[in-house]
Structure 1
Amino acid sequence: MKKLCFLLLITSTTLLTAQHRELKWVTNFDTAKKLSKRTHKPILMYFTGSDWCAPCKMLKEDFFHSPEFKKTAKDFVLLEVDYPRREDIITEEQRQLNSQLIKKFNKEKTFPKIIVFNSREKIIGTISAYSQLRDPSGYFSFIHDMLKK
């Protein structure tokens, strides 16, 4: 019985810790702007095609899921703008909101693309594309530079 209780305690602690480390993405630009103004953190807007964009999938794995990014993410308001091909991934309302953001901030429809705004909604940096070489060092340099602005 003691072993079972100990095992349950370890499992629940691990699950809670894993959930705590998950990134907190918002999907609404107005919400991101309000959070940014309140916290004085820059907005990191990430354009992705979650179900069709191979470079987006690689960037997610190599960059966004890295321990280094997870540490840095707390210094940003994270905004994901997904443009999937499958209709069941996001709602129609979300698709329309994301299409408006793409028309305004990603006219060339480059995926993946990151735009960083300061808390006054001014664009302070942009980076796009991701190589098959899977070297995220340029993205790490980019986000560290954005925090200095």
Structure 2
Amino acid sequence: MNKFAPIIIVLFLVLFCNHTNAQDWKYDFEEATTLAKEKDQNIVLLFTGSDWCPPCMRLEKYILSDKEFIEYAGKNFVWVKADFPKRRKNKLTAIQRSKNKALARKYNKRMSFPVILVLNNDGTVLGATGYRRNLDVKGYISLLTSFDSFGR
């Protein structure tokens, strides 16, 4: 056996494990809508201020990054993130900022953060929520499922 084989195996596992635990975010709403129609799924649209909004950070850390939630989310919805970071190091491209602003004009006129919208694959809002301290992962799954049932 090659002396580098164990290193290669470990690197492969690390990369594979990180990939399977990541949320499959889309950043283009039109792409997400097309995918949602192909999969016959609803869309979850998240408006977040990832680097300045404490409730957004808690939602990401305690709910959206949870393995059980990621597994549920990936099987049941197409996910779109409209991020509005403020720090220079997290600055989005001009094209992405424009796309996010257009989504906000349509779906988040008050610019509230975080906002989670469940939409059918035609873009109609089925339900909305934000960060709720009293909900754990199972609570969010139940809530999103209840919105999802309105679109079916």
Normalised TM-score (structure 1): 0.86
Unaligned runs of 5+ in 1: none
Unaligned runs of 5+ in 2: none
Three-state SS of the structure 1 residue aligned to 2:87 is: coil
Contact 1:32 1:79 in 2 (8 A): yes
Residue 24 of structure 1 aligns with which residue? 24
Residue 81 of structure 1 aligns with which residue? 82
Q: How many residues align?
A: 148
Residue 145 of structure 2 aligns with which residue? 144
Matches within 5 A, 1:1-149: 4-74=4-74, 75-87=76-88, 88-131=90-133, 135=136, 138-149=139-150
Q: Post-superposition shift, 1:110? A: 1.2
Contact 1:112 1:130 in 2 (8 A): no
Contact 1:48 1:80 in 2 (8 A): yes
Contact 1:46 1:81 in 2 (8 A): yes
Q: Percent identity?
A: 30
Question: Structure 1's 141 and 13: CA in aligned 2 closer, same or farther, altered over 3 A?
Answer: same
Contact 1:33 1:119 in 2 (8 A): yes
What is the CA–CA distance in structure 1 between the aligned matches of 2:51 and 2:123, rounded to whole Å? 29
Q: Post-superposition shift, 1:140? A: 2.8
Q: Post-superposition shift, 1:138? A: 4.1
Normalised TM-score (structure 2): 0.84
What is the CA–CA distance in structure 1 between the aligned matches of 2:50 and 2:38, rounded to whole Å? 29
Question: Structure 1's 136 and 70: CA in aligned 2 closer, same or farther, altered over 3 A?
Answer: closer
- Which shifted more, 27-36 or 17-26? 17-26
Three-state SS of the structure 2 residue aligned to 1:79 is: strand
| Two-structure CA RMSD over aligned residues (Å) | 2.2
Q: Post-superposition shift, 1:30? A: 0.8
